[in-house]
Structure 1
Amino acid sequence: MQLTKPAKFGTYSQDDVVFLLKDLSDVNLEDSTANRERRIQSGGHYSESLPIEYQPPKEYVALFWETLQQFKQKTALCIGIVSERIFQLKGRNTVLVSLARAGTPAGILIKRYLQMQYGVSLPHYSVSIIRDRGIDENAIQYILQQYSEENIQFVDGWTGKGAISLELTKACHQYEQKYGVRLDDRLAVIADPGYCTTLFGTREDFLIPSACLNSTVSGLISRTVLNERYIGKDDFHGAKFYKELIKDDVSNKFIQLIANEFPGIANEAKKTAARMNQQVIETGFLGIKDIQRIQADFSIENINYIKPGVGETTRVLLRRIPWKILMRDASSPFVQHILMLAEEKGVEVVEYPELNYLCCGIIKSLKEQNK
């Protein structure tokens, strides 16, 4: 079967990543946060439209650069560790398949690290996975026309409560039942604060700087879209290229700043990875216990309104309608951008010391507007 060709869009080099996505740049998919939230909470799916890309104020962008300088070495070390672990487990035939869009910078950095350290240029694709709708099977079939299934390594940026890890496992099982092909559903991430995977650089809930911004740190690519008005049965899932934001794009600068740190962390990364690969690592999905307690404490009807961890809390503030932010430790350097956004948007920050995560974002239920 002849499948759609990859979209040549975004600001990353094709040497860094190939997007298995359909270019929907000319389609008007954006809607206001309030309208989207209303539709999502009335049974519509978040993947059918896009939020208007939030462009943060100058102070927030300045904070991004500050945190990037502060945590670039730590981020590089965690990328080095997960890269070494992947390489020790799967070797030179690995095919990196990052989950668009937060996984894309992580996949590029893993590819860059292994290129520096071992002189290999691993293939790297970015594909769409959507909660409750699964992975883009056309994209997987495209990859399997060229590579063997046992070499595929799925990559994302971080875990929250584990919805995408569970979605990936479910999608891989369904793919095997349909096509008789077994895919490795173990997700590689930079940080796994939710204990959702066994393949990670750290389990600390720390700020991965790329979580701070939207498309301007992800190659100017939108979130992925699955709307049958625009996506046919043989198409890849879709996305937009925000050309109009090109002057604000820092995607390649971010990659380069982290990659510059790789030589200094490589020895430590290799040793730590070898030690971790010898250990029996459990998952446990510890975050679910946090979620259940929060759901009870705050009478939240839908578990999907609760978004734990630094990365997910940032996303709630950037593109949903936040109700409250729960904070284990407001003095942590990893949450200063969250406090700034919460203040800008008038969102209450509640001290909640018994979290496993550093913080948690709660989406406002529009049925309870008057609460």
Structure 2
Amino acid sequence: MARRLEVISNHLGEKPQTMAKGLKTQYVKDPIKFMGLEDLIPMSLNTKRMQLREILDRDVAPLLPEFIEKAQFPREVLGKIKGLFGLSEAKYGCRQVTPREKSIILYELARVDTSLATFYALTMSLVIYTIEALGSEEQKAKYLPGLCNLDLIGCWGLTEPDFGSDASGLQTTATPVDGGFILNGSKRWIGNAIISDIMVIWAKNTKTNKIEGFVIPSKTPGIHVKNIDRKLGLRMVQNGVITLIDVKVPITTRLEKATNFANGVKVVLEHSRVSIAWIATGMLSGVYEASVKHLRERIQFGVPIGAFQLNQEKLVRVLGHFHSCFLLAWRITELQEQGKATSGQAGLVKAITSLIGRDAVRLGREMLGGDGILIDNYVMKALADMEIVYTYEGTYDINALVAGEAITGISAFKSSYSLRKK
């Protein structure tokens, strides 16, 4: 052992017992600075980013471990982030949040916790965006101010027990009746379901056979919600099963512009998948920061473990993955702001950021060793959460096929295999 320490110290040019004390303080703490990625961000937005980071690190992050461990939603922190919500343009008493600002907010939230970022993405990219883009003027005036101020919490009900990836095949029905519709069906894995005040529910019109959207109060008679317990990832997100039994709603609850899957659900998903790419990127920032801090502070064999070649190689891989994700996410955001982003592009970015994100968080977990399983050290909860990021808003496979169709012009979704009734 003594010989091994001597070899290490000679190679490093410093005595083992003085390495920790003499360690240079100049290092790359924030991965965004390594190749000057902050130069891509407008100065005013970068200033807001650092202000938000300070608030999150000081006032929010210390409160979260208790909620994560108990799988509870952190209502206590909502007051600290309520100013982050808004619309694509300032209307209905709500402030404007541009795609780039929303992306940077998601990045910073995910750097602290994925559940918190998911709540923001769910609210902004699904609930608020759906009503803003597809709702009537009455619906916008009624719901958007409360959602933007967090006086209302919404959920977005698409996924069903038997229909996840094949969203176009959903079985929840909307039967037209005098003055409105009667909804029947079930939704599963719906974030915010337990704590929501309003629900966006997607259902198939039994008369037209088209998928349409409805905005309804969560306490409407016939709606039953059950929490999904014992999750090992996104523990603060309150996912639930929504059962609709003869739920009668007025015609004014229907989203007037969402008349079929293509101009309803698909429009929203193309928009929201960009948000998930930013969540994956923010998670990689958190993993990198936790890893580099640990590698500099953890002493083994008389030196910081960051002095060992294996750990440096893993850290370089994490940093490289981070840059790949950031640049992909930044470019799709630019295209989205220009109104040029396509479903194929969004699918590619979501798929790749979650794919290489998986590798990055696994490497972070390895570098932190035993300490890496603690909630306080970020990487273990990131490892569990990234598995969900890899799956939600369309699995990796589905998003890859969306991009694959855009590349080849050939859809690979329909299998030659067919189920036959016996």
Check whether TM > 0.5: no
Larger Rg: 2
Higher fraction of helix: 2
The TM tier, using the shorter chain, reads under 0.3
